[in-house]
Amino acid sequence: MKTYHLLIPAIFMAACSPKIPQSGRAEKRFSLEDKTVSIITTAENTSLRLSPAGSLTFKDSPQPLETQVAVFVDPNHTFQSITGIGAALTDASAEVFAKLSKEKQQEFLTAYYDKEKGIGYTLARTNINSCDFSSGSYTYVAEGDKDLKTFSIDHDKQFKIPFIKAATQAAGGKLTLFVSPWSPPAWMKTNNSMLKGGKLKPEFNQTWANYYVKFIKAYEAEGVPVWGLSVQNEPMATQTWESCIFTAEEERDFIKSYLGPTLHKQGLGSKKLIAWDHNRDLIYQRASTILNDPEAAKYVWGIGFHWYETWTGAGMNFENLKRVHEAFPDKNLIFTEGCVEKFRLDQVDEWRLGERYGTSLLNDFNSGTTAWTDWNILLDEKGGPNHVGNFCFAPVHADLPNDKLIYTNSYYYLGHFSKFIQPGAKRIISSASRDMLQTTAFLNPDGKVVVIVLNLSDDKIPYQLWISGKAAETSSLPHSITTLIF
């Protein structure tokens, strides 16, 4: 089992800043004059982990031949803006972090949040009430307190809030945070349990809407700004852990009659409200039911989604994201959770972990996604803690008995996106002439172009990076991900 310590040198990049409109064509055409391409690579069976791998220069290139492999990039057409990339700061992550030595805590914070030495996370999620990645079930109110007079977040002050504050400080003082409930308190539900599904009792619709407001205001009073919230984590899944079922119609009606109006009345109308927060398989049905209703849609910032539709044996369904983006282009798509399940310590070096992340990130962004949030940012050497035994992989695990951090290759694959794509970046066209290469690209606010090339094959693939009649020759290593910056 390998343990990697990340020391990534800063990439020297150009500082030109063309003004870019919200969508469509760039107002200033992109020039390749005097541009040098910096290459950053992670590859299987090599020592390359987010490693500088040389530079390229552009040369005049006529019409490419059909026999040549090329990645075509066009910075003159821009699409969705990127809000950020990050991970969930759960109870489990906070508890594991607290058990690390001060030295390892600092290493962890640098690795995830430092923009030069780490991978520069800017986005975060946390749980309202307990979730499976908590040491036990809990809420913030006493049994039966419909008026929420006993509401208190004292539970979160021990581990979670200090952890979020440490991450925010490491990120430079700003971290875009959204919050999600897994279940209301048991007494508000039809099954009288926070676990195993059940539904919110209709008589508690307003109480539950007030609960979100109490939570957000309590966090902000503790110095933790909240950017947004989702209505319900995985509202179609009856889990052995905290869960609560909403049909599309029930979620729509709760948003338009209770949660949306309550947020506005309480001065929280600017918070970004995220619907669905579940898998890609039903995302169009869910989005259309909610967003085709103007009274619900006016409160909704975007549609959240996870990647676990694969539990059926199917693949990740990126086409469904495209359908939502086509039908509702004024709403945002946000990836709110994903992890590799069924943790085993002897599998932390398997290359499939990172390739799952690379595939999802690249295709989610190409399908119109504006923000991407991993699940637990940190877990222990058992894949927990988790109070129902649902142990999972994280990009970084703490080997607590030995006070070490284990970096899986998922961490590096994520870094190929989060380190180089700045908040406010716009996706641009990147198109490969062979399906062995997958690609996406972005134009950052500071004028840098970021091109990402993913190779899931066993072959080394020579190709040219081609832009407006100029090309730079390079190769993609087997089972690799490369970020090209100019």
Q: Which residues have a catalytic role annotated?
A: 234, 337
Helices (H), 244-379: 248-254, 260-265, 283-291, 294-297, 318-327, 352-366
**Who's near 169: CB < 8 A, 6+ residues apart?**
none
DSSP three-state, residue 416: helix
Three-state DSSP state, 329: coil
Q: What is the Cα–Cα distance from 476 to 310, expressed in whole angstroms?
A: 28
Q: Give dist(CA 341, CA 312) in Å, integer.
A: 14
Are the CB atoms for 360 and 329 separated by under 8 Å?
A: no
Q: How far apart are the C-alpha atoms of 410 and 459, rounded to whole Å?
A: 21
Cα–Cα distance for residue pair 321/319, rounded to 1 Å: 5
User: Cα–Cα–Cα angle for 299, 302, 308, nearest 5°?
Assistant: 135
CB 336 within 8 A of CB 304: yes
Angstrom CA distances, 2 to 5, 46, 254, 394, 413, stand at 10, 13, 48, 15, 16
Closest CA relative to residue 28, chosen from 37, 17, 36, 38: 17
All residues at 6 or more sequence positions from 255 whose CB lies less than 8 Å from its CB, including other chains: 231, 273, 275, 290, 296, 299, 300
Count other Cβ atoms within 10 Å, centred on residue 352: 13
Q: Record the tokens describing residue 427, joined without a space.
A: 């996706």
Neighbours of 18 (CB within 10 A): 15
C-alpha to C-alpha distance for 284 and 90, rounded to whole angstroms:
28
How many C-beta atoms surround the C-beta of residue 356 within 10 A?
19
As beta bridge partners, residue 215 has none
How long, in residues, is the chain? Answer: 486
CA-closest candidate to residue 11, choices 165, 146, 115, 145: 115
Structure tokens at 339: 């992890």
